[in-house]
Amino acid sequence: MRETATLIAKYNTPGPRYTSYPTVPHWNLLDFSADRWKTSIAVKENSWIAADGVSVYIHLPYCESLCTFCACHKRITKNHLVEESYIDALILEWDMYVSLLGFLPRLKEIHLGGGTPSFFSAKNLGRLIEHIQKNAIVDAEPAFSFEGHPNNTSEEHLQTLYDLGFRRVSFGVQDYDPVVQKAIHRIQPFENVAYVTEAARKIGYTSLSHDLVFGLPFQTINSIENTIQKTLELKPERIAFYSYAHVPWIKGTGQRGFDENDLPSGNEKRALYERGLELFQLGGYEEVGMDHFALPNDELFEAKQNKTLHRNFMGYTTQSTKAMIGLGASSISDVWGAFGQNIKDVEAYKNAIFSGELPIEKGHILSEKDLFIRKQILNIMCNMETTWSLKEILNVDQEKLFSKLQDFQDDGLLTFDVNGLQVLETGRPFLRNICMAFDQYLLEEGASKGRLFSQTI
């Protein structure tokens, strides 16, 4: 196997994170329409949804201040009067989907993302979740979770959502170093994180996650060690260790809060990850998929062991539902054979809802080839292996695919034959690159859309 530094130099190119396939920049917008999306939701087309159940992602875009590392769709304001009308819109949108389905869906998963979900009052969040649950059949073992900001998640937030079935919360920590926090405009002391972590445990939450980011400006081995040691003191059941995605040419001025020269280089950034990996393993955590770590008693690790891990626009999840309904501005819905994304602008989104229109702005209807490749990429991202039939592999350019896989095999990253592949542990850092070998849109368009994606390593 080649030296790690040589492999990083070879494979550290722009590439998708593959929370979906095709990725959003490659969606076929010309063949998509709101009517086609509604048809894809209708029960006559997707009767399996009734048996399979649904996941629900709710995008809550408001934040009181801008974090300069953030690539999410957000709206910065301190005006909490915006809460009521946005919750009203979410409620109406859910009712539209229930009407389209023609039955009360079985609710297996809810995730509140953002933005900052804890920007909203506990009362308003409770009003939203209560309405959704009244217009659904709640699964016997649901997976309800939310993202909490350590500075403003209150015990009332935690208790209200716990009483409605939430058992997991993820806190955005990012980094504890004061120099890094200042650069990314995310000032939060360790004491705040410790307080909400212990409050959640006392109330009864069974799975806590801390989100960390490596590759941020001014990060060093010493600073990342300090952040991780503090995290290990609190022992969350899960840790997400995300690679900072520096794409200011897409996300605008928010990611220009520091100079590119302040960012760790490719090898320096990888060293941060490798040190983090070492510390997590010493702390008893197991690596799950890409960027995620879990204690052996957590459901995410169990899903990895049982090969039931799933990945969608919410990231890794223990719920393998093929239907995900996205509510809120910019949210993406997924019914396996089709994607639909909501209007991104908050006011335009609400105007559509209050006019009685489903706020779908764009989407993609998957072809047979898309579905085959989607399955392979999902298997690789979740299980580090995949298989296919000789008939299925006819869907892709086999010569190009096998040539790329041979290159990965020569580099000691995977093994493969005509029926499938197995990613080796040495190949885990290159999962995105391996998935790119299957991506027919990247093969057809070359590097023309490369700058739409962050570096893979």
pLDDT digits (tens), the chain, 457 positions: 456 778 888 888 888 999 999 999 999 999 999 999 998 887 555 677 888 899 999 999 999 888 887 777 888 899 999 999 999 999 999 999 999 998 999 999 999 999 999 999 999 999 999 999 999 999 999 999 999 999 999 999 999 999 999 999 999 999 999 999 999 999 999 999 999 999 999 999 999 999 999 999 999 999 999 999 999 999 999 999 998 876 554 445 454 557 777 888 778 888 999 999 999 999 999 999 999 999 999 999 999 999 999 998 888 999 888 899 999 999 999 999 999 999 999 999 999 999 999 999 999 999 999 999 999 999 999 999 999 998 889 888 889 999 999 999 999 999 999 999 999 999 998 999 999 999 999 887 755 554 567 777 7
CA–CA dist 415, 423 (Å, integer) = 7
Amino acid in the structure at residue 52:
D
Q: At 425, is the secondary structure helix, strand, or coil?
A: helix
CA dist., res. 231 & res. 215, Å (int) = 17
- Structure letter (DSSP) for residue 325: E
Q: What is the dihedral of CA 401, 407, 410, 412, to 10 degrees?
A: -80
Q: How far is Cα 62 from Cα 373, in angstroms, rounded to an integer?
A: 35
Say how far apart CA 243 and CA 273 lie, in whole Å.
8
Could you give the angle at the alpha carbon of 114 between the alpha carbons of 110 and 119, nearest 5°? Answer: 100
3-state DSSP assignment of residue 434: helix
CA 220-222-227 angle, to 5 degrees, is 95
Of the candidates 15, 3, 7, the residue with the CA atom closest to the CA atom of residue 445: 15
> Hey, which CATH number is domain 368-445, 3.90.550.10, 1.10.10.920, 1.20.1260.10, 3.20.20.10?
1.10.10.920
Length of the chain: 457
CATH topology of domain 23-365: pyruvate-formate lyase- activating enzyme (3.80.30)
Helix (H) and strand (E) counts in the chain: 17, 19
CA 172, distance to chain mean position in Å, is 13
State how far the Cα of 77 lies from the Cα of 211, in Å rounded to an integer: 23
Q: Are 314 and 18 in contact (CB under 8 A)?
A: no
Distances from the Cα of 248 to the Cαs of 71, 290, 384, in angstroms?
9, 23, 31
**Alpha carbon distance 174, 255 (integer Å):** 15
Q: Are strands 385-387 and 420-423 parallel, antiparallel or unpaired?
A: antiparallel
Residue type at position 31: D
Return residue ranges of the chain for CATH 1.10.10.920.
Answer: 368-445
pTM value is 0.93
Measured distance CA(168)–CA(78) in Å, rounded: 27
Name the segment(s) of the chain with CATH classification 3.80.30.20: 23-365
Buried (b) or exposed (e) across 20-35, using 16+ Cβ within 10 A? bbbbbebbeeeebeee
